[in-house]
Copies of this chain bind each other. A is one copy, B any other.
Amino acid sequence: MLTTRVTERLGIRYPIIQAGMAGGTTTPELVAAVSEAGGLGTLGAGYMSANRIREAIREIRERTDRPFAVNLFIPEPFEEDRERIEQAQKRLDRFRREMCLPASPDPGKYREPFEEQISAVLEERVPVFSFTFGVLPSEWVKRLKRQGTVLIGTATTVEEGAVLEESGVDMVVAQGSEAGGHRGTFSGSVEKGLVGLMSLVPQMADRVRIPVIAAGGIMDGRGLAATLMLGAEGVQMGTAFLTCRESGANSVYRDAVRNARDDGTVLTRSFSGRYARGLRNRFVSEMGKYEEEWPDYPIQNALTRDIRREAARRGNPDLMSLWAGQSASLSRSLPAAELIRNVVREAQDRLKEKR
């Protein structure tokens, strides 16, 4: 009943992919637990150095022989605007003062070099490579496919899906406007890419020949069954796995997600310079008026790092980035294997009930 081109091509039992949430949520324990339970675990490696990626891959492999994925961010050009950076630092200093952090610190390097990150993925012969924020350069498409790595791109519009198919990926994630975390939009404004999953999946499935994986707001068997009806051949779930026992999310983050409301999220670029969906908190409320004035991604991400880390250390959800989708209230605190079993059972029950 749940066998699709996605399960067949990836060599997994259930069409359930755990999203590659960056920032420490996707521990090797979580990735391996998802894969062991018949889904596809994903290491969210966007902010990891090549060495840390290699290390995490080894830890995953110690725990499972099953397929898993690594997820990276395609780098985009950005402008290093000194004036914007200085002004951003000044605005952020109020939070640093509150937490007794040094004012306007040197942010260090803005991002890990992509070539080093993806070289680690290639050398480690990772079974599945997924990415977001753009199109993978054709050189890497060729090298990864030559060694048998399955490629999954991320699209927020039908047009982006068609561009990704043309680039040679094997599958495409359709990221609906409901999704938590960073928007994958890479062509046009963030507003243009805010298409609800109910609209995005059938239109994408009609346009591309490769399998479509639905992402955004899917938390249980209802969402899995619904997206299969729309023409998706699998789901990618982030927020649902964030509250799993094996995830690296800390307890204040988990609590905030569990207590969320459907209308409790907001799109903001105040944390990273790139639009992402998270729970409304004090940081977002107070910084929201500067949305258009922050430096580009990933500069702003580097500038806010010390604040987010210290807030997390102190267990203060007011100044953390609480990425979450619009269905966060449906999250459950279970071991990942149990979540997958429940989702599968719920989907099968729904489908049987209505046949």
A residues lining the B interface (CB < 8 Å): 1, 157-159, 176-178, 188, 191-200, 202-204, 206, 216-220, 222-223, 225-231, 261-263, 266, 325-327, 329-330, 350-352, 354-355
* A158 touching B203, Cβ below 8 Å: no
Determine which of B199, B229, B325, B329 lies in contact with A225 in the assembled complex, contact meaning CB atoms within 8 Å.
Answer: B229
Given contacts A203-B329, A203-B330, A222-B229, 11 further A-B contacts (CB under 8 A): A177-B196, A195-B263, A196-B216, A198-B198, A198-B218, A198-B223, A199-B216, A199-B327, A202-B327, A203-B327, A226-B226
* B158 touching A354, Cβ below 8 Å: no
* B263 touching A228, Cβ below 8 Å: no
- Known contacts: A196-B178, A197-B196, A222-B229. The answer to whether A159 contacts B351 by CB under 8 A is no
Using Cβ atoms and an 8 Å threshold, which residues of chain B touch A194? 177, 194
| Most chain B CB atoms below 10 A, which of A177, A195, A225, A263 | A263
With A and B bound together, what is the CA distance between A178 and B197 in angstroms? Answer: 8
* B354 touching A262, Cβ below 8 Å: no
* B263 touching A192, Cβ below 8 Å: yes
| Most chain B CB atoms below 10 A, which of A217, A220, A226 | A226
